Copies of this chain bind each other. A is one copy, B any other.
Amino acid sequence: MAEKEENEIIEHHVSEEMEKKRSRTRDSHSFLESATISEKEGHSSTQSSHRLLAYSDALISIIATIMILPVAHTKIEPDQELQESLQQLLTTKIAVYLMTFLIVTVAWAAHIRLFQVIERIDDFLALLNLACMMLITFLPYTFSLMATFPEVPLGILLFCACAIVIGLIQAVIVIYGFGHPYLLNDHIQISENQTFYKRHILKIILRVPAFCFFAGIFSFIFFPLSYVLLALVIFLPYITQSLKWCGNKIVGRQEELPESMLLYSYHPSEPLSKERVEAFTDGVYAIVATLLILDICEDNVPDRNEVKEKYQGSLIAALSEFGPEFLAYFGSFVTVGLLWFVHHSLFLHVTKATRFMGLLNTFSLACVGGLPLAYQLTHEFTKNSRNELEAIQISCVIIFFAGIFQLAIWVTALFNERETLHPYVRYGGREHAFMFAKLALYPSVTLTTFFLTCILSKFSAQIFHLMQIVVPFAFLALRVLVSVALSLLKLVFRPAKPMHNALEEDESRLPFNDVVS
């Protein structure tokens, strides 16, 4: 029985993919027919866009996380209070990091949206996309200029220039795509009102350069207005959407858009390519996991002369100076790795990602980006100092939020579980409790650690290290722990057992029917 169910997980995923392929082949057949009728000119070789998008995701994920480097490399004097220096940091560098992360993920979401419409590429589009990527990688710099010199128009001008050119390139991509309809999304390709789609998409894309153009002009006249304009361009779609949603809730009207209309709608359940969310997430986790080793490899190889003079030629003595750095590296790698593992388990069972889930994922990733920094802080101070305690508590808070946002993705998915989740992890599925335990492990452990360090502040370092060592083993033994907990729960609620059993049988049948239907 257990065997069968596992096979179904694999088969489910495989059959899903096969269906995708099949529909693609089917459509490329129909396109073959339509194309031979409508067009005859020789156009360059059409390609699947898969790898181009993977490369773009890799680039964007690096760019999203790099502004954490200036934060991480800010030196804190050992005698300085952490609170104080944190405030100093918070004012600019951390804010720049978070804002860059937000802006880059906004650009990334626009990129996903665009290539959900243009599903096939040729050489021309590949080169245009590379140009677009180059400009996106430049955005963080313009942003840090803006943050350092808020009253000088140059930063805002550079940012606007980049945004305008990116918008224009995207518009060219759309126009080129609609000029060569075999590059388009299958749905739009067979749709009758292609011109409607084209105008709708162009309108949304060109809104950004238009706003930026005015923001650039206003930066000379009255620069606060240009900041307002830039904020508008990012938040306006969200604001109108949430207002609309609230309005609908109050009136009680429930309008369900057909899925095809959700493209370029900014609706919270607008579909977001699951594959690309995964690729972007993998990129961010990979960069963050290796962030500390980058520094270690560059800075922590002791100098030959120094070893001779200062440590009497003993390399081990010289290296033990760097001990805290290594500990921080292993600690942060393990934590980031396990958070990735949780994300991986979650998305294995998510069948469709929506824009709202993507937003939660972004928040979770932004927290993960700060993790290596927090870990580095925990090992930088003398034992039992007030700074050490604070650094440990900050680490706990960051891990807690990274975990909570992952949990929130699952909860969001559960609200619409028929569409977004695999039957096994839906409410009542056999993996439901296990999944919940996986997602809840880090938030609950860090919350416990946080409160323990508040009470037993003397032993904070020990508690923290114990937590770090226990968690990987907890993940290894999680399945056993969950089944023990479930049987304990059953034992406690024994009176309700007969009813429970009946329910369970129903539950174990549910996935079956779902797979068949």
Given contacts A62-B286, A144-B297, A297-B69, contact A32 B3 (CB under 8 A): yes
* Cβ B55 vs Cβ A282 within 8 A: yes
Q: Is A486 an interface residue (CB 8 A)?
A: no
Interface residues of A in 23-69 (CB under 8 A from B): 24-25, 28-29, 31-32, 35-36, 39-48, 51-52, 54-55, 58-59, 62-63, 66-67, 69
Residue of B nearest to A302 (CB): B148
Q: Which of A44, A124, A330 has the most CB of B within 10 A?
A: A44
* Cβ B301 vs Cβ A3 within 8 A: no
* Cβ B28 vs Cβ A17 within 8 A: no
Q: Smallest distance from the beta carbon of A382 to chain B beta carbons, Å?
A: 26
Given contacts A21-B18, A59-B290, A130-B341, contact A10 B48 (CB under 8 A): yes
* Cβ A286 vs Cβ B58 within 8 A: yes
Partner of A58, one of B46, B283, B348: B283
Chain B residues near A24 (CB, 8 Å)? 14
* Cβ B11 vs Cβ A43 within 8 A: no
Chain B residues near A2 (CB, 8 Å)? 40-43
Interface residues of A in 236-257 (CB under 8 A from B): none
* Cβ B282 vs Cβ A51 within 8 A: yes
Given contacts A3-B36, A32-B3, contact A126 B344 (CB under 8 A): yes
Residue of B nearest to A153 (CB): B315
* Cβ B148 vs Cβ A301 within 8 A: yes
Q: Enumerate 28 A-B pairs (CB-CB under 8 Å) in ascending A order.
A: A3-B40, A6-B45, A7-B32, A10-B47, A14-B48, A18-B21, A18-B25, A44-B479, A51-B282, A55-B282, A58-B58, A66-B290, A70-B297, A70-B301, A123-B475, A123-B476, A123-B479, A124-B476, A127-B341, A127-B475, A130-B337, A137-B289, A137-B290, A137-B333, A141-B300, A148-B302, A152-B315, A154-B319
**A residues touching B (Cβ–Cβ < 8 Å)?**
2-4, 6-7, 9-11, 13-15, 17-18, 21-22, 24-25, 28-29, 31-32, 35-36, 39-48, 51-52, 54-55, 58-59, 62-63, 66-67, 69-70, 73, 120, 123-124, 126-127, 130, 133-134, 137-138, 140-141, 144-145, 148-149, 152, 154, 182, 278-279, 282-283, 285-287, 289-290, 293-294, 296-298, 300-302, 304, 307, 315-316, 319, 330, 333-334, 337-338, 340-341, 344-345, 347-348, 424, 431, 472, 475-476, 478-479
